[in-house]
Structure 1
Amino acid sequence: MPGGPVSFDDLYAAHYADLTVQLFAYFGDRQEAQDLVQEAFCRALARWRTVSGYDDPVAWIRRVAWNLAVSRWRRGRTALGFLRRQRVAEPQVAGPGPERVALVAALGTLPPAHRRAMVLRYLADLTIAEIAEQEGVAEGTVKSWLHRARSALAAQLGPGQPDPAETTAQEVRRA
């Protein structure tokens, strides 16, 4: 600069508005332009010993601000492309029916071993032998758990209700 080195404060006061107008004309958003120019000046301040020695420190700050503007524009374009590839709306799924709510509540009252046996038998379609092996018990124990669980569910769900084992499998598979 002619006349000796300029101070950062003087440079900021003299050129902030001009740079903001230039970026506003490019970006079309005054807030974005102000943010970008502020960021460019912050970067210049962090390197002021080096930047102040340049023939034209304002050119360096302008270049940084423009680079920031282009980077921000590219990030926005990438984000917009990503959003366009997303589903417009999440599919609506009907909530659980009253039978399902009652069944889940009834299953929750069973002892854990009985509940596991029911889930493994009717949802995972495991055989009694496979359940016995997985649980580390005899097959007769698994049969007993299943019988007690079905009886408890039938009592809780009341007369006239469908078979608890069949309802369990159908309701959970629909979910």
Structure 2
Amino acid sequence: MVQGSDFEEFYQNTRHRLVTMLYALNGNLADAQDAAQEAYARAWQRWSKVSGYDDPEAWVRTVARRIQVNRWRKLRNGLTAYRRHGPQPAVDPPSENTTALVTALRQLPTGQREAIVLHHLLDLPVAAVATQLGVPANTVKARLARGRRTLAHLVGAELTEESTHA
């Protein structure tokens, strides 16, 4: 029997029991199906080893149960943090200037937009932008200059001589 069809047969013969068990344990069918799916995906990745176990289904059940427990733990820890720190403070809506800038940035070619965001919003030096984008520093400088000119036109601002140099 081919390995893929062997796994498919295993899956077909065990999936209902696994999902039923997980559903009975946590009371949420969608979570049970998600945990089962992830457990079967892990079993598939290791099928050459898992299929040799005395009880591969027990391995999948254990993995699925651990996945469920880890999800509960994350939810519980998130709830604990929420209770401890309270809700995030309300965030003001973006200003008109921010909205105009984001709208203008979206109209730039990707390379220019990346260079401008990394250099001006993250304050990365040109060399670091070049390294991150995998391009020469002069390419970054050219993208910055073109991007600034286009942005100035799009937002109706005048460029100063200082802002045209990288």
Look at both structures and tell me which one has the larger radius of gyration over its CA atoms. Answer: 1
Higher relative contact order (CA 8 A, sep 6+): 1
